[in-house]
Amino acid sequence: KTMQRVELQIEETFAPRPVAVRQALQKGTEFLSQMGVESARLDAELLLSKALGCTKERLYLNYEMALETAVKDLYCYLLQRRARREPLAYITGEREFWSLRFHVTPEVLVPRPETELLVEVTLELAKRLEKIHPIKILDLGTGSGAIAVSLAKELDDIEVWATDLSAPALEVAQSNALRHGVSEKIHFIEGDMFCPVRGQRGFFDMVVSNPPYVRQSELQNLAPEVRTWEPKLALVGGSDGLDFYRRIMAEADRYLTDRGIVALEIGADMGSDVCRLIANADRFSPASVYQDYAGRDRVVVARKLPADAIY
């Protein structure tokens, strides 16, 4: 019934007559607003850009141009998808992260701006490492490869191992590494968390991850774009959201060099819980918590203690 309502409404909005870019943007914005989409104007601009195969800026250079029937039909189809709350990134196939364009599909989470803080913190710490060989970083649950690719773009002397349980997700990540010219710096390996690197004990300078951390009970409260469309395997971290942090902290020290670093994205209210898990691991220095630009806890960092410092 919802799909039929969407189709009827889009047909009424775009009656069979010539429509200019200006009118298409106005009507598309009104339609998406009526369907509850908050970023209606921006989404209408991006969807019309996709239908026309041009940049958003060029829309305004051709503001009074009439749309061909095929373009109008494609635009209407894209608007219908967005009205059903399919994430814009899945419709356009792209999302910007770290000023780079990343290919995304429903097999991976849509990269979020807050995850850029994890990249920022990791880069800052990596540049302080005094290494005569490439810095070796393990990215657990790489998804679209946004973290791994961004790090590889920024650091010249780096080797990244990126693991993911999902083969289709790794295909997306590999395509992004190829797109941005860093394929030779990243090893993509299929498998669960640390499993693909079992033989590399004491090997990595840093372990980074944006693990699933949504509490099972919170899933129903998420926006429909997330709740309905994004892969739950990459979202939910158990009843308390901490399942993957427990797994990471139970094993991370085995794979890190002495004074190696673990850097993890966290939920905004999880700072104290994750810091406690790190303290209980008894192999790391006291954790530091970094806040995002909204003032919320977002990244936790801890350094592995040298062997002779562990009693």
For residue 97, list its beta bridge partners.
Answer: 100
User: What's the average model confidence in pLDDT over 229-251?
Assistant: 95
Mean pLDDT of all residues belonging to the chain: 91
Of the two residues 31 and 306, the one the predictor is more confident about is: 31
Residue with tokens 């920022």: 120
Q: What is the pLDDT of residues 175-219, one digit of tens each?
A: 999 999 999 999 999 999 999 999 999 999 999 999 999 999 999
pLDDT level of residue 104 (50, 70, 90 thresholds) = very high
User: Bigger pLDDT: 294 or 108?
Assistant: 108
Confidence (pLDDT) at 1: 43
- Amino acid identity, position 259: R
Residue 66 pLDDT more than 50?
yes
Please say if the pLDDT value at position 6 is more than 60.
Answer: no
Q: Is the separation of the CB atoms in 150 and 98 below 8 Å?
A: yes
- Can you state the percent helix, strand and coil of the chain, rounding each to 5? 50, 20, 30
Confidence at residue 18, expressed as pLDDT on a 0 to 100 scale: 75
Helix 243-255 × helix 271-281 angle, to 10°: 40
- Smallest CA-to-CA distance from 121 within 268, 274, 284, 266 is with 266
Ramachandran region, residue 105 (left: φ > 0; alpha: ψ -120 to 50; beta: rest): beta
> pTM score, two decimals?
0.90
pLDDT digits (tens, 9 = 90+) for 15-41: 656 789 999 999 999 999 999 999 999
Residue 8 has pLDDT above 70, yes or no: no
Report residue 13's pLDDT band, with 50, 70 and 90 as the boundaries: low
Q: Average pLDDT for residues 290-304, to the nearest whole number?
A: 94
Confidence (pLDDT) at 14: 64
